[in-house]
Structure 1
């Protein structure tokens, strides 16, 4: 695990405007910039879920707070981000978030509508919000905050405001549970 030397700090601090699992005053706050069609973003999110469950059991629910911020290749993956935000307005961000990461290869409009329907969303409102690009400003704010923090690719992780990256010696630069856990523990030292 290493620090990203260039722009290693989170420019926009976590707030209640973010998508949050946990409490902002947790001992460790982990911010992930991700793209729903980035396989590594999905893989890292799955690792963070496992770590979150482990830490909740061993150290309590207020130890880790997880925040997700959008950082899509907007010219390619814009619909997925808007679907997550449209679901958020109806109180279903995290379930839609899970579906988008779980079904990365099936994210056409038909799947998004089916997912929204499975979540019990108002489909008419959902489709209107996506087509009118109602949440594009919210997504663009996440992208801008990532750019200000030096994010150029996903996934990007900040733990207690400091950027962490996989060392170049790692095969294919993949994160592991051990690496992320070590970074979380180190952030609390």
Structure 2
């Protein structure tokens, strides 16, 4: 059984209470179609479980398979530097077939970001370092594909599709 390494910390993007009894971590790739399928399943779990669930997203772009995944991850981190990580995260998954730079800048504009700063931040060492740190933590945690989920620090290898993830979380 693989364990999450490192554990959830201050540098993570989290939705929900830090002390929630259920801690769900996803290693995801914004261009991965399976991650796109997991996105509404996670939203459903968040809605159903409310404050019982904290959700953390960590970047795990696979550029050999998904050439726009790295840029999308950098866009999410650039948006995070203006306090809009989750808004960009949602836009990326809701428009997975539009991850080129022109669309990323359009998302930034629609989210009310300073677009020039966003473009600089996408090129920043801080954004690159965060994506790399997430990816490296995935490798240490035994991630070998996306999406990969961890529930309360343990790798979840069950069926996450449809209601599978929610049903598993409700049984915990």
Shared fold per TM-score greater than 0.5: yes
Root-mean-square deviation over aligned CA pairs = 1.4
What is the correspondence of 1:1-189 to structure 2 with a 5 Å cutoff?
5=1, 8-56=2-50, 61=51, 63-75=52-64, 76=67, 77-166=69-158, 175-177=161-163, 179-187=164-172
Query: What SS class does the counterpart of residue 29 from structure 1 fall into?
Result: strand
State the shift of 1:133 in Å.
4.6
Structure 2: tracts of 5 or more residues without a match: none
> 1 CA distance for matches of 2:71 and 2:125?
9
Question: Could you say which residue in structure 2 is the equivalent of 1:171?
Answer: none
State the shift of 1:74 in Å.
3.7
Query: What SS class does the counterpart of residue 136 from structure 1 fall into?
Result: helix
CA contact (8 A) 2:4 2:155 kept: yes
Q: Is the radius of gyration larger for structure 1 or structure 2? A: 1
CA contact (8 A) 1:72 1:78 kept: yes
> 1 CA distance for matches of 2:16 and 2:10?
11
Per-residue CA deviation, residues 86-127 of structure 1 (Å, 9 max, x unaligned), is: 000101100100000011111111101111000110111111
> 1 CA distance for matches of 2:154 and 2:48?
22
**TM-score, normalised by the number of residues in structure 2:** 0.92
State the shift of 1:143 in Å.
0.5
> 1 CA distance for matches of 2:30 and 2:106?
17
CA contact (8 A) 1:159 1:183 kept: no
> 2 CA distance for matches of 1:176 and 1:124?
39
State the shift of 1:182 in Å.
2.8
State the shift of 1:186 in Å.
3.4
Report the number of matched residues: 169
Structure 1: tracts of 5 or more residues without a match: 168-173
